[in-house]
Amino acid sequence: MAPLKIKKGTSKHSAYDLRDPHSEGLERHTLAVVVANEAGVLARVIGLFSGRGYNIESLTVAETDHRGHLSRITVVTIGTPSVIEQIKAQLGRIVPVHEVHDLTVEGPSVERELALFKVAGEGNDRIEALRLAEIFRANVVDSTLSSFVFEMTGTSEKIDAFAELMRPLGLQEVARTGVAALSRGTA
């Protein structure tokens, strides 16, 4: 038989950017899903993930285009390359979904998350917490004589790292927004 111009299972010529389809390695992808802002659309997206057994690491949603009634859902998910491709195709099938972008493969992107940390402590712990907050560029948004609330924006890793450091210093509660992401440069 004539050789195919494409190599079996390579990315460029497939329907999608398919990396090695047989790889069992897990990858973390950030997807931006632009949806019509109608009732139940978030339930459809979440129902897809739970119904088909996909992972959601983080999810944020808000209306981003009021005039066009469009919302942007940012989902961070983990799966093998073929599962990630399936997730994108399945998302694309939902009727009110207008666009699906895989920011992880579509070129460089920026990802940020906002988090609030409540840290209670006295004496040296309190001083140490403040000092670390400064290094991490976290702001104090509330303070009492025995507690602080810090606000920090950064990558998920940075937020994880800060939470780890705060733990022995009296970390009580963390609230995180989940990831918001955009591609770099002009699209």
Partner 1 sequence: MIVQALKDQGVDTVFGYPGGAVLPIYDEIFLQNDIRHYLVRHEQGAVHAAEGYARSTGKPGVVLVTSGPGATNAVTGLTDALMDSIPIVVLTGQVPTFMIGNDAFQEADTVGITRPCTKHNWLVRDTADLSNVIHQAFHVATHGRPGPVLVDIPKDVQFASAAYTAPENARTSHYAPKTRGDADRIEELVALIESAERPIIYSGGGVINSGVAASQKLRELVDGTNFPITSTLMGLGAYPANGRNWVGMLGMHGLYEANLAMHDCDLMINIGARFDDRITGRLDAFSPGSRKVHIDIDPSSVNKVIHVDVPIIGDVDSVLGDALALWKSRGSKTRKDAVEVWWAKIREWRSINCLAFTQATKTIKPQHALTRLEALTKDHDRYICTEVGQHQMWAAQYLGFNEPHRWMTSGGLGTMGYGFPASIGVQVAHPGALVINVAGEASWLMNMQEMGTAVQYNLPVKQFILNNERLGMVRQWQELLHGERYSQSWSEALPDFVKLAEAFGAKGILCSDPDDLDDAIMEMLAYDGPVIFDCVVEKHENCFPMIPSGEPHNKMLLGEASTKGAIGTKGAVMV
Instruction: Name the residues that contact partner 1, by CB under 8 A.
Output: 1-2, 4-6, 8-9, 13-16, 18, 21-22, 36, 39-40, 43-44, 47, 51, 82, 85-86, 89-90, 92-96, 98
Candidates 148, 146, 126; CA nearest to 138 is: 148
Give the Cα separation of 134 and 128 in Å (integer). 10
User: Cβ closer to partner 1: 22 or 66?
Assistant: 22
Candidates 101, 134, 74; CA nearest to 17 is: 101
Task: Take residue 171 and report the two structure tokens written for it.
Answer: 């970390």
Cβ contact 70:37 at 8 Å: yes
User: Cβ closer to partner 1: 68 or 168?
Assistant: 68
Give least dist CB 86 to partner 1, A: 6
Cβ contact 31:77 at 8 Å: yes
Residue type, 40: G
User: Cβ closer to partner 1: 43 or 135?
Assistant: 43
Give least dist CB 121 to partner 1, A: 45
Give least dist CB 137 to partner 1, A: 42
Read off φ and ψ for residue 109, nearest 5 degrees.
-145, 165
DSSP state of 57: S
Read off φ and ψ for residue 121, nearest 5 degrees.
180, 175
User: Cβ closer to partner 1: 8 or 66?
Assistant: 8
Give least dist CB 85 to partner 1, A: 6
User: Cβ closer to partner 1: 14 or 139?
Assistant: 14
Give least dist CB 132 to partner 1, A: 46
